[in-house]
């Protein structure tokens, strides 16, 4: 199981009402949960299979990232994923530098585990900068756009 998939699963659990998720892929079992009943994760010996899978604790961020940051002109990623500026290959980008946008207008798509989430403008303005490139893996809370009101 690759790290990007694990990060996407952790993000999925953190954004949903799910308190526990267990996934088995081949001989690897991953258990993600949140709450007091999840102890710190233990290391399983690679040569000897563990009788029960180790739990990965979920640590909630102190302040959950939101699409708009504390500053009015920054738009941040709400989750981990792959950054897409177009709705599909061959289509024009949703926005470019200099584009005037309205509140709620789609700026980009973020793909995590084949699920696409649109990121919208929190307010009307002009796109000053696009701070990620198409295909980049982005982190939750990363600044993606700067808008000028």
Instruction: Provide the residue ranges of all domains of the chain, joining segments of one domain with +.
Output: 3-57, 74-148
Average pLDDT, integer, range 91-120: 94
Average pLDDT, integer, range 133-138: 95
Alpha carbons 48 and 5: distance in angstroms, whole number: 24
| Percent of all residues in the chain with a pLDDT value above 70, rounded to a whole number | 72
Report the run of H or E that residue 147 belongs to, with start and end.
strand 143-148
The string of pLDDT tens digits covering residues 35-49 is 655 554 544 444 445
Average pLDDT, integer, range 13-25: 75
Q: What is the mean pLDDT of the chain?
A: 78
Per-residue pLDDT, 81: 94
Q: Which CATH class is domain 74-148?
A: mainly beta
Pairing mode, if any, of strands 137-138 and 20-25?
A: unpaired
Average pLDDT, integer, range 2-29: 76
- Look-up of token digits 């029960």: 52
Alpha carbons 78 and 108: distance in angstroms, whole number: 12
Q: What is the pTM of this model?
A: 0.54
- Per the model's pLDDT, the better-predicted residue between 40 and 127 turns out to be 127
Which pair of tokens denotes residue 81?
A: 């994923």
The string of pLDDT tens digits covering residues 59-86 is 444 444 444 443 458 999 999 999 999 9
- CA atoms within 13 A of residue 66's CA, in its CB half-sphere: 8
- Per the model's pLDDT, the better-predicted residue between 119 and 31 turns out to be 119
CB neighbours of residue 119 within 10 Å: 23
| Percent of all residues in the chain with a pLDDT value above 90, rounded to a whole number | 48
DSSP β-bridge partners for residue 137: 82
């Amino acid at each position: 199981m690759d790290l990007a998939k694990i990060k996407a699963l952790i993000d999925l659990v953190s954004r949903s009402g799910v308190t526990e998720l267990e996934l088995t892929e081949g001989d690897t079992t991953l258990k993600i949960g949140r709450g007091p009943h999840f102890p710190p994760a233990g290391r399983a010996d690679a040569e000897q299979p563990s009788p029960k899978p180790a739990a990965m604790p979920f640590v909630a961020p102190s302040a959950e990232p939101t699409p708009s940051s504390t500053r009015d002109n920054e738009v941040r990623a709400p989750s981990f994923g792959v950054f897409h500026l177009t709705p599909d290959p061959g289509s024009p980008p949703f926005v470019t530098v200099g584009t005037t946008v309205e509140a709620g207008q789609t700026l980009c798509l973020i793909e995590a585990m084949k699920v696409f989430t649109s990121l919208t403008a929190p307010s009307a303005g002009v796109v000053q900068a696009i701070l990620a490139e198409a295909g980049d893996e982005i982190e939750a809370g990363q600044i993606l756009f700067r808008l000028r009101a």
